Homo-oligomer: A and B are copies of this chain.
Amino acid sequence: MKKKPARRSSCPINAALESFGDRWSLLIIRDLMFRGRRTYKEFLESDEGIATNILASRLKSLKANGIITTRPDPEDGRRRIYALTKKGLDLAPILVSLVVWASRYERTSMPSALLRRLQDDPNFLANAAERQPN
């Protein structure tokens, strides 16, 4: 009785859902990409209140999927620093699409000027996200 592979579909959307198709992974990516958060503790402090075990499992999964990397903090050995890989940074257009859609249809607090920049200026994100290693 194997795990039933069934999920193997060639649809690219499926491939993406396998990597971050749950409610927490995308929020972690957002924290890394837009909010400059980089450590376990900082992720825990996000408004949404992720549980410690869930956070650990998502970080592991994101790493296994090549979306983030991790390395020890040179200034504080017990701390680890998480960062987006190139593959992870390339998720930016998806995040932007999400934000643009949500801002059109849901009540959110994002100012429309910022939204326009996100849509119109392809370099805005690249500049906003400080350069990640790898």
Chain A residues close to B by CB (< 8 Å):
6-7, 9-19, 21-23, 26-27, 30, 47-49, 66, 87, 90-91, 93-110
Contacts and interface: CB of A to CB of B under 8 A. Distances in A.
Contacts of A16: 98-99, 101-102, 106
Contacts of A110: 10, 12
A129 to B, nearest CB: 15
Contacts of A109: 10
Contact of A102 (B12, B48, B99): B12
30 contacts: A10-B108, A10-B109, A10-B110, A11-B47, A12-B98, A12-B102, A12-B103, A13-B27, A13-B30, A13-B99, A13-B102, A14-B27, A14-B48, A15-B106, A15-B107, A16-B101, A16-B102, A16-B106, A17-B23, A17-B27, A21-B22, A21-B26, A87-B105, A90-B104, A90-B105, A91-B101, A94-B94, A94-B98, A94-B101, A96-B97
